[in-house]
Structure 1
């Protein structure tokens, strides 16, 4: 089974977007370059401010739903426990936030459907 990531992207306001993926590097790159039409491109949520790693993608999906059910203040508290200054963590997972990942796998699962992501 594939591993998974639950993550939160933000802009400078901060508007928050909660997502799930099996390839965090690729997904963050796509968000930062507006390659995924929709919420993150519209609101310029380019900063990776939080993420969790799971052994199985289903665990990440369950966690995504838990985080999406949190109110805004709880999401901010969650982020600040890992990232007190809400800095862009993409530098920790990408060689550079502007360099395309080497293994761009188009089979990466799409953003979760059934719930609008992230408006908090």
Structure 2
């Protein structure tokens, strides 16, 4: 099975978008090109601020749903916690 990713993208206006994909590079490129991103009305570039890797798409979809239930403040705390865990070793 191919691995899948759950991610949070931050749009240029500060809004956060959560999703999952099997091809994260293609998804970010698509968002930045303003194509296929029906919820990115502003067409501002996005940057990846959080991601997790999973062995299958069902696990990634489940985690995406959990993240979507979080408030903006909780998502920002999750991003901050992930940054500290990965970059302060």
4+ long deviations beyond 6 Å = none
CA shift, 1:46, in A, is 0.9
* Structure 2 residue ranges without an equivalent (≥5): 85-89
CA shift, 1:12, in A, is 3.8
The structure with the largest helix share of the pair is 2
In 2, the alpha carbon distance for the partners of 1:35 and 1:13 equals 17
TM-score normalised per structure 2: 0.83
TM-score normalised per structure 1: 0.63
Measured on the aligned residues, the alpha-carbon RMSD in Å equals 1.6
* Structure 1 residue ranges without an equivalent (≥5): 85-120
Quote the residue 2:17 is aligned against.
17
Query: Residues 27-62 of structure 1: CA distance to partner in whole angstroms, max 9, x if unpaired?
Result: 11111111214112x132511111111111110000
